[in-house]
Chains A and B, each alone.
Chain A
Amino acid sequence: MTSTVITNGIRKLRFEHAEMTQQELADRISVTRQTVNAIEAGKYSPSLEVAFRIAKVFALRVDEVFQFAEPARGSRK
């Protein structure tokens, strides 16, 4: 079975943007702080809409915030 993994650099980007807190980012993209935490930890892959909102906050493209990695066949997440 082939599974996909989406990684991101949101935590680093937050600190590069005036040490923005998870709550501040959450308020700007209309989700809860817990959801931002889950996205940062790679436990939840956001919808395309939320991904675009996050990218917009940091004035970046979506693929500069999120990276797609396809693990080797046979491995499961």
Chain B
Amino acid sequence: MSFREKTAWVTLIALVLVSLMYWLHIPSLFEPHRHGWVLLVLALSLGTFVLIEVIAWLVFYVRNPKETRTPKDEREQIIALKASRISSWVFTAGTFIAIFLTLHLAGAGPVAMGMSVVIAFVLAQVVRQAAIIIYYRRGA
């Protein structure tokens, strides 16, 4: 398994774990005077994600420094671009759905719209990492 594929796996798993951690706390957003607390959970989630990525990178670096330092070659760049194209569609669709819901659902305010956009962004990133892994698995 190449370094890029391993990092894609780590990012995918970290995204899913951290997102679950964050979204489990979302109901509290609707309790009065808890907005600041949810922002703290968001910050902690982002911090955890960055920490997982850094630790994984350090482990890969210790095990194979040369592979870690090697820049992306042309095939890896193409795989990243293909995956980004797919995830951009997911993000665009998610953003339009968020706007639609905010405009048409009673009681859906800017907070709900913001959360929907965050969901779309996280989903797009999950799809991107999954697409990268699939492309590498297929040997494309």
Q: How many B residues are at the interface, by size bracket?
A: 10 to 19
Q: Taking the complex as formed, is B31 at the interface, i.e. its CB lies under 8 A from any CB of chain A?
A: no
Contact with A along B60-82 (1 / 0, CB 8 A): 00000000001001111000000
The chain B residue sitting closest to A42, CB to CB, is B139
Q: Are A38 and B70 in contact (CB under 8 A)?
A: no
B70 partner residues in chain A, CB cutoff 8 A: 32
Query: How many chain A residues have a CB neighbour from B under 8 Å?
Result: 14
Q: Taking the complex as formed, is A57 at the interface, i.e. its CB lies under 8 A from any CB of chain B?
A: no
Q: Which residues of B contact A (CB under 8 A)?
A: 2, 70, 73-76, 136, 138-140
Q: Which residues of A contact B (CB under 8 A)?
A: 30-35, 37-38, 41, 43-44, 46-47, 50
Give 23 A-B contacts (CB < 8 Å), ordered by A residue: A31-B74, A31-B75, A32-B73, A32-B75, A32-B76, A33-B2, A34-B2, A34-B75, A34-B136, A35-B73, A35-B74, A35-B76, A37-B139, A38-B139, A41-B139, A43-B138, A43-B139, A43-B140, A44-B75, A46-B74, A46-B75, A47-B74, A50-B74
